Amino acid sequence: MQPVLEVSNLKKYFATQKAVDGVSFTIGKGSIFGLLGPNGAGKTTLLRMITGIFYPDEGQILFNGRPFNPESDVAGIGYMPEERGLYKKMKIGEQAMYLARLKGLSREESMTRIKEWFVKLQMESWWNKKVEDLSKGMSQKLQFVTTVLHNPDLIILDEPFSGLDPVNANLIKDEIFRLAQSGATIVFSTHRMEQVEEICDHIVLVNKGQKILDGTVKGIKQQFKEDIFRIAFDEPVLPEHTAIHLFQVINKSEKELILKKTEGFTTNDIISYFIHKGLTIHAFNEILPSLNDIFIRQVEGTPQTRQFETVVSH
Amino acid sequence: MSKIGIIIQREYMTRVRNKTFILSTFLLPIMMILFIIGSVFFAVKSVEKQRVAVINDPGYFQKHLRSDSSQVVFEFTPGIDSVNYADRGYDGVLYLPALPGQQPYELISRKQFGIAARGYIEKQLNKAIENHLLEEKGIQKEVLDSISNASEDAVALKNRVTDKKGNSKQANAGLAYGIGFGSGILIYITMFIFGAMVMRGVAEEKMNRIAEVIVSSCKPFELMLGKIIGIAGVGLTQFLLWIILITVLMTAMQLFVPAEMLQQMQDAQANQQNLPGGPNNTMALKILQAKTTIVEGVNWGLIIFCFLFYFLGGYLFYASLFAAIGSVINEDPQEAQSLMLPITMPIIFAFIILTSSLNNPNSPMAVWASIIPFTSPIVMMGRIPFGVPDTVPYWQLILSMMMLIGGFLFTTWFAGKVYRTGILMYGKKVTWKEMAKWAFRKS
């Protein structure tokens, strides 16, 4: 996969802290990339360097294989910051037009694209409304449209679903998938892990300005798996069934066990043990750790840990 | 269109189409005209006639105290005293000694007499006493009057201002004063109004968080400069509309207001000179005189060019500083107040220097204040109408202009540096010292 963005050894120091301290990663074309980390980890600073708002103190950014040039490359980037911003007193149509033209689109082209998007997201009747008359979710949709209007190669979305109801969140999610399919690369920044598991192909975790994890969602889960399995039976499980050194019981209900395999044994050893005991196995599967658990473990012990949102794992 | 062009266009259009802009543009000239008409009207109407009964029987003043104005009338009606004067329709009763040189002089009234009326009574009494003294020394009043009449208008002094080659120009201090004061105050007011507009605009973009969206499309400097230029355009548009409207309204007024009324207004203006009015009155009068006198020797082209130059230069110089403040403030309006103080102080200071340099355009303070860019837009405009290169030598004008250009390049550069950091920084109180650090650190 051809990389859209290559970041190597990027550094940005502020007077009081090392906001970004030597981060490197590569984002492939057409992928959905998750940039994760607790608050204050340096995500926003990293994104601001990629969008040309900040200059890095050190390091290199390659955009489509060439050194990143903020002047000309910003037309290929769409950035939706975490703190949404729109002119409150401006009419919605004019606002979208203004932002599109700042990205280099002509008046006619902006008009066609805005109309297209407004129809797609059921916003046609909004043209003459002002932003101050919109609900939070509605202005979120407008913000998304203004971010992608100019068909950027790289779309950077900082917490894109916050404030959206499930219906609109799905609408935007579908659009994100569609944009990725048509060749755009999406960079997601969030600390909502369940969204990351669902959407992202590739993730990078940063903490205190440094990268601590890099890989695909599946790969990272494999890397951090703990040999925990769920096994379900047709008959009730009796206490004498579990007194064995093959595994440790973590959780137990009437006809189901959650267990941790002891090192040196295989899953077949466990299954054949229960078959031998005369129990009918109804289901057997591995429980991989949730990204949330992995990340909490990774950043544990740092003061930022508590700022992670606790997400109920499913 | 370039990005900065798009930004300028937005800044200009959103403001010009705004209801408050339209209202203030059209209402202000109307209100100004109404104010002028109103104040003249009241000045004419409020000259109240004071009837004063004089008790001086038998006495010297009965024959010699005369009133030559309709403002105060002296009457020597018998049978008036301090008890019944009000019932008989008098505003006051004046007790005078039998002969000048004796005491007391006393004015009894229900209401306090105005300063002007009291001054007038004193003046008339002094005149009567003067006549008495002249007569005592054997000088006939008629003889003295004829002498003073003959000598009064014998000389009309003309101040011939000449350049090095001896070519002369006619100096008109009144006109110069009027133009200098008018253009100085205009620049002073616009710096505040449009400077504050820039600051609010920048702060609004920061609060709305739109700044981050926009600076991902263009350079922060372009956004800042676009706003400053856009608002300058708004200011120039408003000026132009005001000038047109005021001219139209003034012409219309002269058509509809009866000639008598205009005559009365002029009389009132003339009378004002005799009244001990405040400094505003005399200043307004000087401006009016300047407007009504048309004199050769005023280089209108140069004055208009300099006005536009100093208006734009001064605006750019201060607007970028206001933009820098707008970029560092947070929700707390108190913060803006304390940061603005170092900027508003020189502007106010310049205005104070302007008023003194109008009376003395070549004092060292006036000269230096018109060269230093912090005060030059206001002070130099007060000096230029007195004559270039007589009052303001070319070297001073050129130095002042160069300093102003250099000054606004510096403030714009400084503000750009501060703006870039400030616009994306939230929740932190910033001081001028920190801003200077941002500007001068290596990037």
Please check whether residues B398 and B353 belong to one and the same domain.
yes
Per-chain mean pLDDT for chain A? 84
Domain boundary among B141, B162, B189: B141
Do residue B22 and residue B132 come from a single domain? no
Least confident of A43-47, A122-126, B111-115, B314-318: B111-115
pLDDT digit string (tens) for B299-309?
778 888 898 89
User: Are residues B13 and B73 located together in one domain of the fold?
Assistant: no
Q: Is the pLDDT of residue A26 over 60?
A: yes
If asked whether residues B324 and B434 sit together in one domain, one would say yes
Q: Which of A75, A142, A68 is nearest to A105 (CA)?
A: A75
pLDDT-derived band at B13 (thresholds 50, 70, 90) equals very high
d(CA A232, CA A229): 10
Residues of chain A with C-beta less than 8 angstroms from the C-beta of B218: 74, 102
Residue B350: pLDDT band with limits 50, 70, 90: very high
Distance from CA of B321 to the nearest CA of A (A): 22
Q: Can you tell me the mean pLDDT for B426-436?
A: 81
Q: Which residues on A lie below 8 Å from B436 (Cβ)?
A: none
Q: Is residue B161 part of a domain?
A: no
Given a cut of 90, whether residue B295 has pLDDT beyond it is no
- Given B102, B120, B141, the domain boundary residue is B141
Same-domain check for residues B30 and B70? no
Are the C-beta atoms of A85 and B212 separated by less than 8 Å? yes
The pLDDT, as a whole number, for residue A299 is 79
For residue B151, tell me if it sits in a domain: no
DSSP calls for A57-80? SEEEEEETTEE--HHHHGGGEEEE
Show the tokens assigned to B282: 């005399």
Asked if B325 and B256 sit in the same domain, the reply is: yes
**A198-212, B84-98, B211-225: segment of lowest average pLDDT:** B84-98
Residue B117, pLDDT > 90, answer no
Same domain, B35 and B59: no
Are B26 and B55 within one domain? no
Using one digit for the tens of pLDDT, what is the confidence trace for B227-278?
999 999 998 888 888 888 878 887 777 676 666 666 655 565 555 444 444 4
Of residues A70, A83, A89, nearest to B212 (C-beta): A83
> From CA B95, how far away is CA B57, in angstroms rounded?
10
Listed in sequence order, the residues at least 6 apart from A1 whose beta carbon sits closer than 8 Å to its beta carbon are: A28, A29, A30, A31
Name the percent of chain B in helix, strand, coil, to the closest 5.
65, 5, 30
- pLDDT attached to residue B262: 60
Write down the domain spans for chain A.
Answer: 3-222, 226-287
Question: Of B6, B7, B212, which has the smallest distance from its Cβ to A85's Cβ?
Answer: B212
Residue A129's SS3 state is coil
The residue of chain B nearest to residue A100, with distances taken between CA atoms, is B217
Residues B299, B184 share a domain: yes
From CA A203, how far away is CA A212, in angstroms rounded?
11
* Nearest CB partner across the interface for B213, out of A70, A81, A101: A81
Q: Which of A216, A204, A225 is nearest to A293 (CA)?
A: A225
Instruction: Characterise A78 by phi-psi region: left (phi > 0), alpha (psi -120 to 50), beta (else).
Output: beta
ipTM over 0.85: no
pLDDT at A222 over 50: yes
Task: In whole angstroms, give the CA distance from residue B209 to residue B89.
Answer: 73
Judged by a CB distance cut-off of 8 A, whether residue A275 touches chain B is: no
Which of B14, B205, B209 lies nearest to residue A81, judging by beta carbons?
A: B209
Of the candidate ranges A175-189, B98-112, B334-348, the one whose mean pLDDT is the lowest = B98-112
CATH of A3-222 among 2.30.42.10, 3.40.50.300, 3.20.20.70, 3.90.1010.10: 3.40.50.300
Element (H, E) at A189: strand A185-190
Residue B48 in contact with residue B264, Cβ under 8 Å? no
Distance, CA of A239 to CA of B401 (rounded, Å): 96
Q: Do B216 and A99 touch (CB under 8 A)?
A: no
Closest alpha carbon to B52 in B128, B147, B124: B124
Q: Which residue has the higher pLDDT, B42 or A269?
A: A269
Cβ–Cβ contact B331 with A under 8 A? no
Chain B residues whose CB is inside 8 A of the A13 CB are: none
Q: Supply the pLDDT for residue B65.
A: 78
Does any domain span residue B294?
yes
User: pLDDT tens for residues B48-99?
Assistant: 677 888 887 677 777 777 777 767 888 887 777 778 888 888 888 888 887 7
Asked, for residue B376, whether it belongs to a domain, the answer is: yes
Q: Which of B96, B121, B141 is the last residue of a domain?
A: B141
Q: Which residues of B touch A79 (CB under 8 A)?
A: 212-213, 216
Residue B163 included in any domain: no
Q: Which of A48, A85, A146 sits opposite B208 (nearest CB)?
A: A85
In this prediction, residue A312 carries a pLDDT of 39
Residues 6+ apart with CB under 8 A from B24: B238
Report how many domains make up chain B: 2
Higher-pLDDT residue of B292 and B187 is: B187
Mean pLDDT of B141-149: 80
Q: B210 and A86 in contact by Cβ < 8 A?
A: yes
Are A287 and A250 contacting, i.e. CB atoms less than 8 angstroms apart? no
Hunting for tokens 């003046």 — which residue is that? B123
Rounded CA gap, B162 and B158, in Å?
12
Domain that holds residue B69: 50-141
Residues B117 and B80 in one domain: yes
Say which CATH number the domain at B108 has: 3.40.190.10
Q: What band does B193 get if pLDDT is binned at 50, 70 and 90?
A: confident
Nearest alpha carbon to residue A285 among A274, A271, A299, A305: A271
| Within-domain flag for B8 | yes
Distance CA B33, CA B28 (A): 9
Residue B230: which of B315, B160, B168, B304 has the closest Cα?
B315
**What rounded mean pLDDT belongs to chain B?**
80
Residues of A in contact with B215 (CB under 8 A): 53
The whole-number pLDDT of residue A306 equals: 39
Q: What architecture does CATH give domain A226-287?
A: 2-Layer Sandwich (3.30)
Asked if B260 and B241 sit in the same domain, the reply is yes
Question: Does residue B146 sit within a domain?
Answer: no
- End-to-end alpha carbon distance in chain B: 30
**pLDDT tens digits, A122-170:** 888 888 888 888 888 888 888 899 999 988 989 999 888 877 888 888 8
Mark yes or no for CB contact A89/B14 under 8 Å. Answer: yes
State pTM to two decimals.
0.72
pLDDT at B199 over 60: yes
- Cβ–Cβ below 8 Å for A99 and B10: no
pLDDT given for residue B227 in this prediction? 93
